[in-house]
Amino acid sequence: MRMRRLVVGELQTNCFILADDEGDAVIIDPGEDPERIEKTIHSYELTPRYILCTHGHADHTFAAGRLQSSFDVEVLIHELDRPLIDEGLGELAFIFDVRKYEKPTLGPALSDGQILEVGSMRLQVIHTPGHTPGGVSLLCGSDLFSGDTLFAGGVGRTDLPGGSQDELLRSIRGRLLVLDDDTRVYPGHGPETTIGEERQSNPWLRGGS
């Protein structure tokens, strides 16, 4: 697997482009800057197969509609976060230029345990609610794309509508900390980390399994 990280938008969201050796690719969390994302796709001669959103907040989805128009691919999100797309930019609308927003047409909902096969890559969907009801993490081999569930030294905020700190911590302890310590974690914002590092030093998770 090849991976490219682009830090996009005012909220510095990590957008990830994953591709296999044949160029089949997925775009994870295209929060903004669709021109940069398109340029990267074209420069590496990749063929996007899906746009995957770890959750429905606009800083992770704003460019999804534009990229869907450019590449004619499905945009996938968990069923419980579809309302966040349906209602538009929601709580974060003030940050974005709404004139540039293209609302995506959503494909089949992501579900817990689902395996997406993209060329030679296999991505497992792990439902990790708490930041949003339909938040998911995506596991590809030993790489975990955790959205706004787990960060290096922190966890996702839970003060927006639909958030729950108790549910978020249950998701992390019960769904993510069960992974191998050497699993690399690529969050929705900030630097990468590992499950082992967060198990040992994340102040929000002390006392967890």
* pLDDT tens per residue, range 87-135: 876 666 677 777 788 999 999 999 999 999 999 999 999 999 999 999 9
Is 143's pLDDT higher than 70? Answer: yes
Identify the pLDDT of residue 89.
Answer: 67
Asked if residue 116 lies in contact with residue 77, where contact means CB atoms within 8 angstroms, the answer is: no
CA distance 164 to 167: 5
Residue type, 131: H
Q: Where are the beta strands (DSSP E) in 12-83?
A: 13-19, 24-28, 47-52, 74-76
Identify the pLDDT of residue 97.
Answer: 77
For the chain, the domains span 2-201
**pTM of the model as a whole:** 0.95
Is 209's pLDDT higher than 50? Answer: no
Asked if residue 164 lies in contact with residue 117, where contact means CB atoms within 8 angstroms, the answer is: no
Identify the pLDDT of residue 15.
Answer: 98
CA distance 68 to 121: 21
- Provide the 3-class DSSP secondary structure of residue 203: coil
Is 208's pLDDT higher than 60? Answer: no
Structure token pair of residue 188: 């929705």
Asked if residue 54 lies in contact with residue 29, where contact means CB atoms within 8 angstroms, the answer is: yes
Mean pLDDT of the chain: 95
The radius of gyration computed from the CA coordinates of the chain, to the nearest angstrom, equals 16
Alpha helix (H) residue ranges in the chain: 34-43, 58-61, 64-71, 82-86, 165-171, 195-201
Identify the pLDDT of residue 90.
Answer: 65
Structure token pair of residue 107: 């494909």
Identify the pLDDT of residue 196.
Answer: 97
Structure token pair of residue 168: 């978020």
Asked if residue 148 lies in contact with residue 186, where contact means CB atoms within 8 angstroms, the answer is: no
Is 45's pLDDT higher than 70? Answer: yes
Cα dihedral across residues 161, 167, 173, 176: positive or negative: negative
- Per-residue pLDDT reduced to its tens digit, 150-185: 999 999 999 999 999 999 999 999 999 999 999 999
CA distance 187 to 44: 23
Report the topology of domain 2-201. Metallo-beta-lactamase; Chain A (3.60.15)
Question: Quick one: average pLDDT of 2-8?
Answer: 97
